[in-house]
Chain A
Amino acid sequence: MSTETLTKNDAFITYLLRLADDRLILGQRMAEWCGHGPVLEEDLAMANMSLDLIGHASALYTYASELEGSGLDDDYFAYFRDDYEFTNLQLCELPKGDFAFTMARQFLFSSFSYFQYQILKNATDEQFKGMINKHLKEIKYHLRHSRDWVLRLGDGTEESHKRIQDAFDELWMYIGEFFHSDEIDEIMLREGNGADLSSFKDEWKTMIEETFKEATLTVPDWDQFMMTGSRKGMHTEHLGHILTQLQFLRRSHPDADWK
């Protein structure tokens, strides 16, 4: 195998892990609502979306392990890596906050994923393309659900309006990372399996601005300070804490098997 092939393969694995880490960590955060939702329907909704996200992560990890080829499985990537090896967006690891915060984050993440997957669904790699097309159907549900709540809370009572506005204000510095692109993105793009992030930035911003307008919310400053570094393993203090909960059981019983 030439160095060139290795690089492409490594880039693909890294790319799959980034997508998977976003979904595993966000899915775990959302699962914290299970049994604590404001009403039964929302409790179920959040548990469902959490399952979807963890399902997406599992498929992507499994495919990464196939490409990696040394016998590691999806469990390895989820349970046996440390915080600096995780490359999820910092947005995904932030504590769940109140219901408004959770819905605001879900709306930002789902809308970004929606546009990103609209491009990835035409990927050249068959298995990857199949997964993306499948996941996209579910992302549409997540986007519709969270957008409905942004409208309802924003255009709701004084209290609900304040809470969702505060949530967006707090989350805003974490959205800059959505559109960071590096050599991994470039290789993937060249191979026909990536997405040019700049190509849908305006469309995404328009969706956000139109939703905010309908929800009577104020769009924070697009040019404010933005956090960076998660794709290189730099995180907020919150990632280590969520990993202790996510990984503890599996690490205590490393040889346990579901089957």
Chain B
Amino acid sequence: MPVKATHTKEQIWDYIREVTDPEIPVLNIIEMGIARSVDIDKSGKVLVKITPTYSGCPAMSAIENMVREKLEEKQVSDFEVKLDFSEAWTTDWMTEDAKAKLKDYGIAPPEKSGNDDDFLNSLSATKIVPCPFCDSFETELQSQFGSTACKSQYFCNSCHQPFEHFKCI
């Protein structure tokens, strides 16, 4: 149809909801806290702002392209996807729902980020990450860095499973 489609903000958010994180496909980019804002100006141009999780995350440009493709697929003709750095991404932006999905997927979700003044000594000494498989607290840190920038490696001494923990930042 030659009629130019118009889209509401709510519709744009619905479209974006269909874009999932390529490395954690159970979560969409709204649940991840990656999609930050949608604005439509007077001319009808849509501006979507997204922010990276970790600075070096290789999924970021993939996500940017996926948002573009999604908007094109939904016939949004005039739009811009912009990387925004004005606020630093934090795991606190992940919804409770998202954290539950992460756990079901086998990744121990991040806890609430707190004061990290004692960060030099804190990680291995004091933090207990429950096993996403058996909920045991008998787990130990294997490495502060895992398969992606956002995860660290743990081992569960109860069910003898290695698992990943979404680092809390």
**Interchain Cβ contacts within 8 Å, total number:** 80
A254 contacts the other chain (CB 8 A) = no
Least distance between B37 CB and chain A CB atoms (Å)? 14
| Chain A 216-239 interface mask (CB, 8 Å, partner B; 1/0) | 000000000000000000000000
User: Contact: A41 with B153, CB < 8 Å?
Assistant: yes
How far, in angstroms, from A59 to B153 measured CA to CA in the complex? 27
- Whether B130 is near chain A, meaning CB under 8 Å from some CB there, is no
Smallest Cβ-Cβ distance to A147: which chain B residue: B120
Prevailing SS type, chain A contact patch: helix
**Of A131, A143, A258, which is within 8 A of B61 by CB?**
A258
- B55 within 8 Å of A (CB atoms): yes
**Chain A interface residue number, banded:** 35 or more
Segment 36-61 of A: residues with Cβ below 8 Å from B: 41-42, 44-45, 48-56, 58-59
Contact A59 B86 (CB under 8 A): no
A135, B55: Cβ atoms closer than 8 Å: yes
**Is there a chain A Cβ closer than 8 Å to B66's Cβ?**
no
Question: Which residues of B are found within 8 Å of A138, using beta-carbon distances?
Answer: 54-55, 169
The CA of A143 and the CA of B123, in the complex, are separated in Å by 12
Given contacts A51-B58, A144-B119, A258-B61, are A130 and B87 in contact (CB under 8 A)? yes
Q: Are A134 and B89 touching (Cβ within 8 A)?
A: yes
Q: How far is the CB of B130 from chain A (nearest CB, A)?
A: 21
Is residue A213 contacting chain B, with contact meaning CB distance below 8 A?
no
A interface vs B, CB < 8 Å? 41-42, 44-45, 48-56, 58-59, 62-63, 126-127, 129-131, 133-135, 137-138, 140-141, 143-145, 147, 258-259
**Chain B interface (Cβ within 8 Å of chain A)?**
52, 54-58, 61, 65, 83-89, 116, 119-120, 123, 142-147, 149, 153, 167, 169
